Chains A and B, each alone.
Chain A
Amino acid sequence: MALLEKPIARRWARAMLELAEEKKALAEVGADLDALADAIRKSKDLAHVVASPAFRVEQRRAVLMAVADGGEKKAHQLTRLFLNLLVDKGRLTYLPLIADAFRVEADRRLGRVRAEVHSATPLTKEELEGIAAALKEQAVKRQLGREVLVTANVDPALLAGVRARLGGLVFDGTLKNHLRRIGAELTQNA
């Protein structure tokens, strides 16, 4: 079953992607799916509603629509139709995997690349924009994509500086990394 989950999820994601692209709502639908997948992953109760056969289809549909419309803005119409279809076909448990597959494929089609930025202290808006711009230059230069979506995280263990992961590349300018390299040199040369 687990072996088939990803191929099934990819198939659903591709179908949804075609529709979203046709309706020119790729970004909105992608954001909706990401938000729903994130909610299912973070909320045990919601995950239980999605997976447990104890809930009827209508109950599941009602809960999911409430979550989809509960944000700052309502979910896109296409997203709502897609959720209904997933509920009817009993494929709701695949939603997080479908969202992942959708994101990867949508990023590829839109020329987007995702970047994770880790810093020891919270970055200011200007700093984050500067980093995003620099990462975009790198992404264009290395032909990874035309747009960079940056996610910022704080990790005090890094001591100081910033570390960024762009696709498969890592740029490490943290003090922790400097100390690690000094330690390696000390071990080799001592």
Chain B
Amino acid sequence: MNKKALGLLGFLAAALPAVDALAAGGGGGAHGGGHAPHVEFWKWSMEAPPIGWMVFDFAVFMFLLVRYAGKPLSNYLVQRHTGVKKAMEEAAAAKAEAERKAREYEDRIKKLDAEVAAIKEDFVRNGQLVRERLVENGKVSADRLLKDAQLTISAEEKRALESLKSEAARLALEMAEKMVRERLAAPDHKRMTDDFIRELRS
């Protein structure tokens, strides 16, 4: 770093005489024109700034800059360089990935018609299966309902018949009881009592 700073100071030392010569050359021209340009290197005046001091200030500034901020600046620049390089590489990779995906999507779009056709065929096949199953289930349910209905009808018929029989028997018994009540006489009671005793003894 010191070498660079010395190089810079050397450059400034070489440049100062050139500037001085330029100022002197300019002064000759001015003599020819009747109005001399006023250039100051070291002296302070209100008409012209002291270029020598300005260069010196600049050199001191550069020296301090290089001496104290050179290394961090350099590191920063190196890091910046690495970061930018990495970002560019990542961007390149992302671009490649995007291009690959774009190609993949293009392929898929090309195959989409075939996929749609396959899905449609699958739906149709499934629909037919469901329909067949529903029809089969419906037949089974219908058979079961029919059998249940036949059993219920049969049971109801039987119950109704039993009810009719029982009602007919009840009416017949009522009539018989009524007739018996009307026609029973004392000899009948005695005969039945005797029969009871006889049966009890037998």
- Chain A: residues with CB nearer than 8 A to chain B? 119-121, 123, 127, 130-131, 134-135, 137-138, 159-162, 164, 171, 173-176, 179-180, 182-184, 186-187, 190
Contacts of A127 in B (CB 8 A): 190, 193, 197
Is B173 a contact partner of A179 (Cβ separation < 8 A)?
yes
Indicate if B177 sits at the interface (CB-CB under 8 A): yes
Task: For A173, give its contact among B166, B170, B199 (CB under 8 Å).
Answer: B199
- In the complex the two chains form, what is the Cα distance from A2 to B32 in whole Å? 157
- In the complex the two chains form, what is the Cα distance from A179 to B180 in whole Å? 10
Indicate if B21 sits at the interface (CB-CB under 8 A): no
Contacts of A176 in B (CB 8 A): 177
Q: List 17 A-B contacts (CB under 8 A).
A: A119-B189, A134-B201, A135-B200, A160-B188, A161-B195, A162-B192, A162-B193, A164-B200, A171-B200, A179-B177, A182-B176, A183-B169, A183-B170, A183-B172, A186-B168, A187-B166, A190-B165
Is A161 a contact partner of B176 (Cβ separation < 8 A)?
no
Chain B: number of interface residues, binned into ranges: 20 to 34
Q: Which residue of A lies closest to B173 (CB)?
A: A183
- In the complex the two chains form, what is the Cα distance from A59 to B134 in whole Å? 90
Is B189 a contact partner of A121 (Cβ separation < 8 A)?
yes
> Separation in Å of the A139 CB from the closest CB of chain B?
11
> Separation in Å of the B110 CB from the closest CB of chain A?
86
Is A187 a contact partner of B180 (Cβ separation < 8 A)?
no
| Count of A-B contacts judged by CB separation below 8 Å | 77
> Separation in Å of the B106 CB from the closest CB of chain A?
90
Which of A119, A137, A180, A190 counts the most chain B CB atoms within 10 A?
A190
Is A190 a contact partner of B168 (Cβ separation < 8 A)?
yes
- In the complex the two chains form, what is the Cα distance from A164 to B197 in whole Å? 10
Is A131 a contact partner of B168 (Cβ separation < 8 A)?
no
Indicate if B196 sits at the interface (CB-CB under 8 A): yes
Indicate if B35 sits at the interface (CB-CB under 8 A): no
Binary contact readout B178-202 vs A (1 if CB under 8 angstroms, 0 otherwise): 0011001010111011011101110
Q: DSSP class of A's interface residues: helix, strand, loop or mixed?
A: helix
- In the complex the two chains form, what is the Cα distance from A187 to B169 in whole Å? 6
Q: With contacts A134-B200, A160-B184 known, what are 18 further pairs, Cβ within 8 A?
A: A121-B186, A123-B193, A130-B197, A131-B196, A134-B197, A137-B201, A160-B188, A161-B196, A162-B192, A162-B193, A179-B177, A179-B180, A183-B169, A183-B170, A186-B165, A186-B168, A186-B173, A190-B169
> Separation in Å of the B12 CB from the closest CB of chain A?
131
> Separation in Å of the B195 CB from the closest CB of chain A?
6
Q: Which residue of B lies closest to A132 (CB)?
A: B197
3 nearest A-B pairs in the assembled complex, by CB-CB distance: A173-B196, A134-B200, A186-B169
> Separation in Å of the A111 CB from the closest CB of chain B?
20
- In the complex the two chains form, what is the Cα distance from A62 to B107 in whole Å? 123
Contacts of A171 in B (CB 8 A): 196, 199-200
Q: Which residue of B lies closest to A161 (CB)?
A: B192
Is B196 a contact partner of A159 (Cβ separation < 8 A)?
no
B113-127 residues with Cβ-Cβ distance < 8 A to A are none
Contacts of B184 in A (CB 8 A): 159-160, 175
> Separation in Å of the A119 CB from the closest CB of chain B?
7
> Separation in Å of the A165 CB from the closest CB of chain B?
13
Binary contact readout B151-168 vs A (1 if CB under 8 angstroms, 0 otherwise): 000000000001001101
> Separation in Å of the A11 CB from the closest CB of chain B?
38
